[in-house]
Structure 1
Amino acid sequence: MRFVIIGAGRVGLRTARVLREEGHEVTLIERDEGKVRRARNQEFEVVEGDGSREEILEQAGVREADSVGALTGDLNVNFAACMIAKHYGCRTIMRIDEDYRENIYRKYADEVDEVIYPERLGAMGAKNALLGGTIRAIADIAQHLQVVELTITDDAPVNGYTISELQLPADATVLAYGKRDGELGIPTPDISLEEGDRLAVLADFDVLSDVRQLLVGGTESRAEAEHGGVN
């Protein structure tokens, strides 16, 4: 998947690193020269400029992006960037500081796909928001291992399969299963997978994309599919 992140500060850069480690394409937008240098030193593609300006977002590839995360400390920049990204059909994630009043939160929450408080969520939470609801990171087990929760979609190749028929990559294994609104539990071999069912999977970062393709469906480009997400 392709992501544009506005803000290469602590939250934005850490979120970008997590996404890149999982094989996603990430472009950062930052106007502070020091932060631009730091991100480029970590081999990120960075567009230098104001992320609330449409021409800057276009330079960063908003037309091809699946999701845009406005993760700066400036609420006005974040909101403007999300409104532009929404015009291009992107999923929009807006950072809001924890000390904003509840009525301010409600005002903006209706205009974007998700509002996040990085002080509470950290980089993993920001990443989950960017990826959407079909895949959710639960825990990092080791440097290259992660537990993710995936929701079976109507497009999933394994929709209708039983657990015993499910063939995940060698570096991935099912840990738990649950119905749409039910609790996760130990799966039995004859359970049939249906849309809305959830699986908790332990997987190496290198095979997460393959796991996603099997359990969620879709492709990694907006041109080929209109929905999807990853942990």
Structure 2
Amino acid sequence: MRFVIIGAGRVGLRTARVLREEDHDVTIIEHDEAMIRRARTQEFTVVEGDGSREDVLDEAGIAQADVLGALTGDLNVNFTACMIAKYHGCRTVMRIDEAYREGIYRKYADAVDEVIYPERLGAIGAKNALLGGTIRAIADIAPHLQIVELTITEAAPVNGYTISELELPADATVLAFGKHEQPLGIPSEDESLAVGDRLIVLADFAVLSEVRQLLVGEDPKQATANADADPGIDADTGGIH
């Protein structure tokens, strides 16, 4: 997938690194010279300028991009960039500060695909929002443990199994289960797994690839690459830009 990220601050740059490690194409837009140098030192393609300007977005390849992540600290820049990206058919993910009142949040949330609070979620949340899809990292709770939400797909080997028949690796545990579009709850052994159902799993990084293969149906090479990339995400609580 092709991503355009506006803002080369701490979370923006870390999110860009994780996306690149998963073989996605990432272009960054930034106007601050020091941040531009840092991103280019890490061998990112960087377009200098204001991310709310259409000519700058054009230079970054917005017409060919799949997703725009507007991750600056300027709400007006983020929103304007998202509106331009929507015109080009991109998925739009916009940063908003926690300080904004609920009415402001709703106004912007209705206009873009997803609103995120990077100060709270860090790079994990930003990456999840950008990618969407069937696997969402929720939290790193220890050096080698992560809680993830996985959505059962057609390709999942366990599609059609009951919870009692589900055999995860020894270092992985189901914490919660929810039928498609239903609230999460404590799993019952008789519940059957179907496409769209969600599982919250606590797993050691060493077995994440195996868990992905079972519940999502990723091939072994893809599952290993994705699992290896997750520990590199730093749940940074600092500002982006």
Q: Is the partner of 2:62 in helix, strand or coil?
A: coil
Higher relative contact order (CA 8 A, sep 6+): 2
| Code of the aligned partner of 2:149 | E
Counterpart contact for 1:71–1:94, Cα < 8 Å: yes
Counterpart contact for 1:78–1:94, Cα < 8 Å: yes
Query: Pairwise mapping of residues 140-155 of structure 1 onto structure 2 (< 5 A)?
Result: 140=140, 146-153=146-153, 155=154
- Corresponding residue of 1:179: 178
- Can you list the C-alpha shifts for 1:85-132, whole angstroms capped at 9, x where unaligned? 112222111112222233322221210112222222222122222122
* Structure 2 residues not aligned, in runs of 5+: 219-228, 231-241
- Can you list the C-alpha shifts for 1:158-201, whole angstroms capped at 9, x where unaligned? 48443799899x9x96745623235465786x864312211345
Among all aligned residue pairs of Structure 1 and Structure 2, give the percentage whose two residues are the same amino acid.
Answer: 65
Distance 2:99 2:75 in 1: 12
Counterpart contact for 1:159–1:195, Cα < 8 Å: no
1:67 matched to 2:67? yes
| Code of the aligned partner of 1:90 | C
Over 3 Å counting, the alpha-carbon distance change for 1:143 and 1:58 in structure 2 is farther
Q: Is the partner of 2:64 in helix, strand or coil?
A: coil
| Code of the aligned partner of 2:178 | K
Counterpart contact for 2:160–2:192, Cα < 8 Å: yes
Number of corresponding residues: 216
Over 3 Å counting, the alpha-carbon distance change for 1:111 and 1:192 in structure 2 is same
Distance 1:63 1:166 in 2: 43
| Code of the aligned partner of 2:54 | E
Over 3 Å counting, the alpha-carbon distance change for 1:63 and 1:111 in structure 2 is same
- Corresponding residue of 1:215: 216
Counterpart contact for 1:157–1:214, Cα < 8 Å: yes
Counterpart contact for 2:134–2:216, Cα < 8 Å: no
- Corresponding residue of 2:13: 13
Distance 1:141 1:216 in 2: 25
Distance 2:97 2:86 in 1: 21
C-alpha RMSD over aligned residues? 3.7
Counterpart contact for 2:158–2:214, Cα < 8 Å: no
Over 3 Å counting, the alpha-carbon distance change for 1:167 and 1:80 in structure 2 is farther
Q: Is the partner of 2:20 in helix, strand or coil?
A: helix
Query: Pairwise mapping of residues 115-154 of structure 1 onto structure 2 (< 5 A)?
Result: 115-132=115-132, 134-140=134-140, 146-153=146-153
Over 3 Å counting, the alpha-carbon distance change for 1:156 and 1:72 in structure 2 is same
- Corresponding residue of 1:162: 161
Q: Is the partner of 1:63 in helix, strand or coil?
A: helix
Q: 1 or 2, which has the higher helix percentage?
A: 2
Q: Is the partner of 1:92 in helix, strand or coil?
A: strand
* Structure 1 residues not aligned, in runs of 5+: 218-229
Normalised to the residue count of structure 2, the TM-score between the two structures is 0.70
Distance 2:56 2:91 in 1: 18
- Corresponding residue of 1:97: 97
| Code of the aligned partner of 1:138 | I
Normalised to the residue count of structure 1, the TM-score between the two structures is 0.72
Over 3 Å counting, the alpha-carbon distance change for 1:177 and 1:96 in structure 2 is closer
Alpha-carbon deviation of 1:18? 3.1
Alpha-carbon deviation of 1:40? 1.0
After TM superposition, the structure 1 stretch with the greater mean CA deviation from structure 2, 60-69 or 107-116, is: 60-69
Over 3 Å counting, the alpha-carbon distance change for 1:111 and 1:124 in structure 2 is same
1:30 matched to 2:18? no
Q: Is the partner of 1:93 in helix, strand or coil?
A: strand
- Corresponding residue of 1:53: 53
